Amino acid sequence: MKSPRKTAAFALTSAIAFASLVVQAQNPTPTPPAPGQQTPPNPQAKPTEAPTIRTTVETVVVPVTVKDRAGNLVADLKKDEFRILEDNVEQKIERMINEAYPISMVVLIDNDLGQKDEAQVEPSLVSIIGGLSTSDEAFICRFDQYFHPGQGFTKDQDKLATQLRRTELASHSSTPPSGDPFSGPTINNAPAPGAMPGQGSDTQSLRAIKGQPTKALDDAVYNAAMLLRDRDSLKRRKVILLISDGQNGAKFNTHNYDETLAELLRQGIAVYSVATGSDYFNRKFTRLSKYSHDTGGDIFYGAKQDTFSEFYSRISEEARNQYVLIYSPVGERKVDYHTIEVRARREGLTILAREGYYGGTFATEAPK
């Protein structure tokens, strides 16, 4: 009779031997191939990964507004009714999206209007809420010689209404924000000899040339664009609602028109302008018209409080209900800036689209 110790040892040895057989069955030792034969593939062997070839597809996304002769939005166009030319080369439109998008809007209000314009604009501002949906967001800002950002983006319409009701416009340029290097005495828009930054706040001393505008409109638009930089342009319409008389003091801007426009185009921001005053053909509106035209936005000319309220709703409707045309550009790619022209095959329509874009401003993933 075997002892319990020997029986346990035998059982353990048998288990090890059985496990070894199972492992060999699951992972058999490969038989060396006969001379002239190739080694058969091992189905369980991890395949060697081939080098991955990645290509970058440049996708250009172009929001487009279409109006009829009466100024009404046209919403029934099909993809094959559009044509896009980039640098005068016709492009193949791969996809078209025709659905409403939420808006990210910077409301940029001129803080240095004439008294008559101020009296019309200020009470109309709360009407901006009427054109916004609960999925839209807005950021209330003012500008004169300086840029005055508000309290940030919010979708809360009660908060927006409160901010707009409390917005009081000044009929003169305001004092600079704290820390501004030109808040002391100046001569020809530069600190006076011996003056220290932050010394004094005499606004009139900054009016270097009597009778010329001292507002920095270009800088205000540029700063508004910076606020929109982090908003998702694939999921939201990025809009600046610019309410101004159009006056712009070139000497008071850090950024000129071309720099500002380039930033707007890089970010896909459309500027919608509301021009205050009744002289529609006044040259002071040229800046507003150019920003709107070149970015694919629109411009409205207001002379009464009621018209301002109507314009705000129309702007939100236009921005939200645009066609989106998507294509991968073909043709020469030797320059940084590329012109865009959008046409419609149907006659009697007005097309609003940005005039071009800068290389490197493509969508990494086109909207679905």
Q: Which residues of the chain have pLDDT under 50?
A: 1-27, 41, 43, 45-56, 179-211, 362, 364-367
Compute the radius of gyration of the chain from its Cα atoms.
32
Distance CA 153, CA 109 (A): 15
**Count of C-beta atoms within a 10 Å radius of residue 323:** 23
CA angle 175, 181, 186 (to 5 degrees): 75
Cα 105 to Cα 66, 132, 133, 343: the distances in Å are 21, 10, 12, 27
The conformation of residue 47, written as its DSSP 8-state character, comes to P
Determine the pLDDT at residue 278: 62
Q: What is the pLDDT of residues 204-237, one digit of tens each?
A: 333 333 445 679 999 999 999 999 999 987 789 9
Determine the pLDDT at residue 292: 96
The CATH number of 103-173+214-319 is: 3.40.50.410
Per-residue b/e over 193-227, b at no fewer than 16 CB within 10 Å? eebeeeeeeebeebbeeeeebbbbbbbbbbbbbeb
Domains of the chain, residue spans: 56-100+321-368, 103-173+214-319
Place of tokens 């004094």: 200
- Cα dihedral 255→280→270→141 (10° resolution): 60
Asked whether the whole model's pTM tops 0.85, one would answer no
